[in-house]
Amino acid sequence: MEKIPILKMGRFLLVTIQVDMHDQLALQLQDDLTARIVHDRAQGVLIDISSLEVVDSFIGRMISNIAAMARVLDAQTVVVGMQPAVAITLVELGLSLDGVRTALNVDKGMALLREQVAESGRL
Amino acid sequence: MTATNALEKVLTQEQEVLAEWVQQQLAANTLRSDLMKESELRAQSREFLSLFRTAFATGSAFSINSSDWAPVCEFLSSVSRSRVLQGFTSSETATFVLSLKRTLFEPLRRELEHDPAAFAQALWNLTTLLDQLGLYTTEVYQKSREAVISRQQQELMELSTPVVQLWEGILALPLIGTLDSARTQVVMESLLQAIVRTGAGLAIIDITGVPTVDTLVAQHLLKTVAAARLMGADCIISGIRPQIAQTIVHLGVDLSAVVTKATLADAFILALRRTNSSLVAPGTTNAPKG
């Protein structure tokens, strides 16, 4: 069964979504990610979707859920690498992903995460 | 002699018919000698007459939609299109085809002098054919014009949504003209592509040039802001005229999610501050106001 790899970068976790997500994979990701956040005491999660050319409402909802779960575990989430066409589609679908911070690329995403973590006062 | 035979026979005297036809066209008061030289008119007439004769000889049907008439229609398409570019009106182009009727009237009459019924039939056949061909040129003419218009519309849409880089990391999007859903698509695409290309974190959307802002326009603006936000860039809307501010409140449009400024200058100062830059007048050491 395929799994989406989760990489550790310092205090943060990096998830790169490269394949089409289906229910099973999404649930697996949620399980793995929440487990890793607790296990590694991660302060932030960076979700990279630069490989996704098509994002539907399912993935949109999944990203929102992951961000919410991470927040409950006191970790910030930033989504990076959204392609212009994807952004337009999400807006047209009415999914503006409120509550999910976004950045243009991994560099900016990391900077944003560090900022947010500093703001939230975690050591 | 039947009507069809008579017409065919007249058409075999191609050179005489051509000479007569060109002469009549040159003498007509609808001649546009300023747009087309005589040699070109002659060449077009000769080509058309030859194709017309060939098509008439092969086809027994009197409808130009059959494949026998395809070469004639193709020729007329190219004539019509080139005449559009030369500046002819659609009736002038159609007259080119319809004027052949008058030329063939006299030879036909001579041929069928003793058979009025056949003469009437021949005339009717000729009229039907040439009318169809004349209308065909008008149709092609209109389609070419429509193609020009839609191409210009496309160019206009692309030209009027430039995205300029004001500063490092700050983009400006001056909108001119009404913002309908088609333009909003173009605006969104240009802006997002510019964000990716420059890595900008801030975009100033200036609506000084947008004449009216109703709920639909406001919706389009908010969509653009949301899309930019998904790409990690914040937006500031500037250039809000006093009248527009009143309209927005009266309509109950909610712009609380976006920072709005009256002028582009104010928006620019804010953007600089957000990116931790500021403008300092030369020779001063104090922090600037604003």
For chain A, 123 residues long, the average pLDDT of each consecutive 10-residue run is 85 89 86 93 92 83 88 90 89 79 91 86 64
Q: Give the tens place of pLDDT for each residue, B66-109.
A: 778 888 888 988 888 888 888 888 888 888 888 888 888 888 88
Give the Cβ contact number of residue A24 at 10 Å.
10
Contacts of B232 in chain A (CB under 8 A): 80, 82, 102-104, 108-109, 112
pLDDT on residue B91: 86
Judge: B188–A82 Cβ closer than 8 Å, yes or no.
no
Q: Which of B183, B184, B223, B231 to mutate to test the interface with A (most CBs of A within 10 A)?
A: B231
Cα gap B180→B182, rounded to integer Å:
6
CATH code of B90's domain: 1.10.490
Judge: A87–B230 Cβ closer than 8 Å, yes or no.
yes
Judge: A104–B231 Cβ closer than 8 Å, yes or no.
yes
Nearest-CA residue of chain A relative to B189? A84
Work out the minimum CA distance from B228 to partner chain A, whole angstroms: 8
Cα gap B271→B23, rounded to integer Å:
73
Q: Tell me, yes or no, whether B99 and B181 share the same domain.
A: no
Tell me the pLDDT band of B159, cut-offs 50, 70 and 90: low
Supply the range of the domain harboring residue B100: 3-155
pLDDT on residue B183: 83
Asked if A39 contacts A72 with a C-beta cutoff of 8 angstroms, the reply is no
Contacts of B184 in chain A (CB under 8 A): none
CATH code of B222's domain: 3.30.750.24
What b-and-e string marks burial along B102-141, b requiring 16 or more CB atoms within 10 Å of the CB? Answer: ebbbebbeebbeeeeebbebbbebbeebbebbbebbeebb
Q: Tell me, yes or no, whether B49 and B175 share the same domain.
A: no
Token couple for B71? 């070469």
Provide the mean pLDDT of chain B.
85
Determine contact: B196 vs chain A, CB below 8 A.
yes
Token couple for B251? 């309509």
Residue A1 within any structural domain of the chain: no
Residue A76 within any structural domain of the chain: yes
Residue B219 within any structural domain of the chain: yes
DSSP string, B64-100: TTSGGGHHHHHHHHHHHHHHHHHT--HHHHHHHHHHH
What ipTM is given for this predicted complex?
0.77
Tell me the pLDDT band of B241, cut-offs 50, 70 and 90: confident
Determine contact: B189 vs chain A, CB below 8 A.
yes
Work out the minimum CA distance from B235 to partner chain A, whole angstroms: 14
Average pLDDT over residues B194-210: 92
Judge: B230–A91 Cβ closer than 8 Å, yes or no.
yes
pLDDT on residue B205: 94
Judge: A84–B196 Cβ closer than 8 Å, yes or no.
yes
Token couple for B128? 């039907």
Cα gap B142→B145, rounded to integer Å:
5
Q: Tell me, yes or no, whether B110 and B221 share the same domain.
A: no
pLDDT on residue B158: 65
- Pairing mode, strands B170-176 and B164-167: antiparallel
Asked if B165 contacts B196 with a C-beta cutoff of 8 angstroms, the reply is no
Q: Which of A63, A90, A100, A104 to mutate to test the interface with B (most CBs of B within 10 A)?
A: A104
Number of domains in chain B: 2
Contacts of A102 in chain B (CB under 8 A): 229-232
pLDDT on residue A32: 92
Residue B196 within any structural domain of the chain: yes
Q: Tell me, yes or no, whether B149 and B189 share the same domain.
A: no
Residue B285 within any structural domain of the chain: no
Cα gap B32→B249, rounded to integer Å:
59
